[in-house]
């Protein structure tokens, strides 16, 4: 089973991004075409989908749901070595990606907090209208760091107070 065959099975509305396999199983991770064409904007991500699964022994093929994938497969040694050993994206690359799409994905918020030494347990990120992200922290230094990132990425935001910033996302 190769990438082209998997792509045929999934159809034209999806793009295979990554394949992880061992001698018994193959997992193909894919995204919607809209997600790929809009620079990984998570507004177009596939909520609830897991990877395409192929059992090399039984020839079973199917699309896994996200919960099914995590419950049945994520603990396998294959994922511990292949997924956890990957390079992380640098803060500069994250900022460039954010700037190009004018949107911050959830995982990018997490990466920013990690890279900028912001304790995620101190920060609250919420939205009342799915357009604006309200970011609050009892530490004004956290908000200063978010402001710095938003400025570098040329994003629209308003600093409402030392402990609150609103991002147009």
- What is the pLDDT of the chain when averaged over all its residues? 83
For the chain, which residues make up each domain, given as ranges? 3-82, 91-168
* Model confidence band, residue 108 (pLDDT cutoffs 50, 70, 90): confident
Distance of alpha carbon 24 from alpha carbon 143, whole angstroms = 48
C-alpha closest to that of 27 among 57, 1, 51: 51
CA distances from 59 to 11, 78, 99, 143 (A): 19, 19, 43, 52
Tens-digit pLDDT profile for residues 29-76? 888 777 766 655 555 454 557 789 999 999 999 998 877 777 777 666
Least confident interval from 1-5, 15-19, 47-51, 117-121: 47-51
Q: What is the CATH number of domain 91-168?
A: 3.30.1360
157: its two tokens: 């935001």
Phi-psi region of 155 (alpha: psi -120 to 50; beta: other; left: phi over 0): beta
| Size of the chain, expressed as the number of residues it contains | 169
Q: Three-class SS of residue 168? A: strand
Q: Is the pTM of this model over 0.75?
A: no
Residue 84 is predicted with a pLDDT of: 46
Predicted pLDDT of residue 80: 58
């Amino acid at each position: 089973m190769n990438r082209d065959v998997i792509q045929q099975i999934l159809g034209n509305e999806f793009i295979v991004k990554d394949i992880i396999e061992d001698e018994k199983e193959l997992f193909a991770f894919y995204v919607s075409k809209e997600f790929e064409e809009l620079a990984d904007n998570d507004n177009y991500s596939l909520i609830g989908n897991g990877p395409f699964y192929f059992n090399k022994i039984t020839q079973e093929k199917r699309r896994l749901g996200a919960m099914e994938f995590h419950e049945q497969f994520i603990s396998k040694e294959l994922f511990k070595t292949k997924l956890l050993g990957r390079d992380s994206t640098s803060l500069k690359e994250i900022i460039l990606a954010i700037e190009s799409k004018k949107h911050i994905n959830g995982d990018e918020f997490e990466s920013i907090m990690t890279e900028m030494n912001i304790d995620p347990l101190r920060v609250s990120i919420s939205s009342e209208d799915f357009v604006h992200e309200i970011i609050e922290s009892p530490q004004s230094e956290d908000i200063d760091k978010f402001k710095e990132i938003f400025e570098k990425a040329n994003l629209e935001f308003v600093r409402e107070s030392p402990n609150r910033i609103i991002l147009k996302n």
